[in-house]
Structure 1
Amino acid sequence: MATVELLFSALPEHVRTARLVAAAVARRAGVDEAVLDELRLAVGEACSRAVGLHLSHGVAAPVRVVLIEDEKKFSIEVGDDAPRPAPVGAASGAARPGSAQDEGGDGEDDMGLAVISGLVDDVEVTADETGGLIRMSWPTTPGAMAS
């Protein structure tokens, strides 16, 4: 299993670089060429969301993108350090993609999460008082990984 970690300043101009790196690593990992445009768009939405959250919450830490390739799937994790208040009565920080709970009840980025969940079959969104994470996965073609 190979892992690539990308950290970038929370500036909109760095989102394009994250999309390009994600697509290149996904292609090498064996993700079907037919879904690479959707992968790029999903990564762009997730990174733009993280940048926006960092900027709106005054977070100076970088946005994290982790690309994980293995024999069966390729995963991308986009993490932010923007705090969200714990939902009242919730036992964990897990939220449905596009739910107002994920944004601490304000729903400001529901559209971006809806786009991501429409593009990616395997997506998980979590958020709590320390930040959030969007985890997306795509199947890979066995034996397609380059060395």
Structure 2
Amino acid sequence: MATVELRFSALPEHVRTARLVAAAVARRAGVDEAVLDEVRLAVGEACTRAVGLHQSSGVSAPVRVSLIEEEKQFSIEVGDEAPHAVPGDRSSGAGDADVEVEEDDMGLAVISGLVDDVEVTAGENGGLIRMTWPTTPSVAVVP
């Protein structure tokens, strides 16, 4: 199992770099060429979400991206350290919280539309989005 890890400051300008690295590593791992645009878009959405959560929560820790090459699959994990509200708990400013929850839900809906295998976990210490794609083994050409 090969893993590439990225950590970047929670700034929007770093999302593009994360997208490019993710697509390059996915290509090398054997993700179908036709799916690479979806990989790029999903990673961009997940990283943008993490950057927004860090900025709105005042978290200075970096956003974490792990690119994991396993047998027959390639996974990308985007982690944040922003506190996530427990469902049903909207004790803070209701108006702003509702807007943030709607934006968060929209981002997750976009990711779910792009990736068939998505896991989202969140808690008071941060969250993680794990996206997985199948890979095709590279075929060695024998002369």
Normalised to the residue count of structure 1, the TM-score between the two structures is 0.84
- Counterparts of residues 89-108 of structure 1 (less than 5 Å): 106-108=101-103
Aligned equivalent of 1:112: 107
Amino acid at match of 1:114: A
Within 2, Cα distance between the matches of 1:5 and 1:88? 33
Secondary structure at the counterpart of residue 118 of structure 2: strand
Within 2, Cα distance between the matches of 1:7 and 1:46? 14
Structure 1 residues not aligned, in runs of 5+ = 90-102
Instruction: Report Cα offsets for 1:68-121 as digits up to 9, x if no partner.
Output: 0012100000000000133359xxxxxxxxxxxxx9x93331111111000000
Aligned equivalent of 1:17: 17
Q: CA deviation at 1:2?
A: 0.3
Structure 2 residues not aligned, in runs of 5+ = 90-97
Change (3 A) 1:54 1:144: farther
Aligned equivalent of 2:81: 81
Within 1, Cα distance between the matches of 2:17 and 2:74? 19
Amino acid at match of 2:63: V
Instruction: Report Cα offsets for 1:34-66 as digits up to 9, x if no partner.
Output: 000010000000000000000000000000000
| 2:114 matches 1:127 | no
Change (3 A) 1:144 1:9: farther
| 2:47 matches 1:35 | no
Aligned equivalent of 1:140: 135
> Could you say which structure has the higher helix fraction?
2
Q: CA deviation at 1:144?
A: 5.7
Secondary structure at the counterpart of residue 22 of structure 1: helix
Within 2, Cα distance between the matches of 1:25 and 1:144? 18
